[in-house]
Structure 1
Amino acid sequence: MKLISCLFLLSLPVTVYSAVGGRCSSFWRNTGCICLDKNVCERTWGGVSIQGVAPDWPCPDDPGNVWGCQISPCRGGSSCQWRDRCALPVAAAVCPGGRDFICCVLSVDA
């Protein structure tokens, strides 16, 4: 009986927050904004944390410690941006967010 109860609990839906390291929402979407823990943004990456105001929260579905983060300048280049806005990636530089959030020079039409 305990096994069946445990299996039932494991099958229940779980509330999932947006992924930390994801693109900021709405107003902040095209500003080189990534959702990170406020302290990680400032202390690890030297970024500027953005809490925002209602209704324009950069990371509305994330926990309270996750704010928008803008990193400029990034190590070795211009600023951390989403790959789709990049004209010239800076190969040696590192930004949080994996392969999609990179250090680059913005594209002209951004």
Structure 2
Amino acid sequence: MAGEIHHGSPAAAIFPYVVPNTPVRSPDYDNNVQGTLTMGVVDEYVGAIIGYAERTIREIERVTGVQISISKGELKAGTSEREVVISGTREAVDVAEVMIVQRVSDAANSRRR
């Protein structure tokens, strides 16, 4: 059964403006259920997720088994964010989310120096 994954995001604590706050997981949370997570990533950091010749995004997909799609140049209304959609098992989506947030966080930290 596919559906939106609602959970307290581990990534939100690391990089709160990337992932919106969502409800905490219920006790019957099943890691093997297929679903999607949609998150916003500031446009200037999307390259950190994609990587040179799409190597980074493909590596995240290969390691986790998820599918990732990023809106092409279209910003979410009223923001400077592009939509990133991660699809796969809940467990895989959670891991991919953390990997993406880490890449964005690293890129943001390197720009501050």
Structure 2 length normalisation: TM-score? 0.28
The higher radius of gyration belongs to 1
Higher helix share: 2
> Higher relative CO (CA 8 A, sep ≥ 6), structure 1 or 2?
2
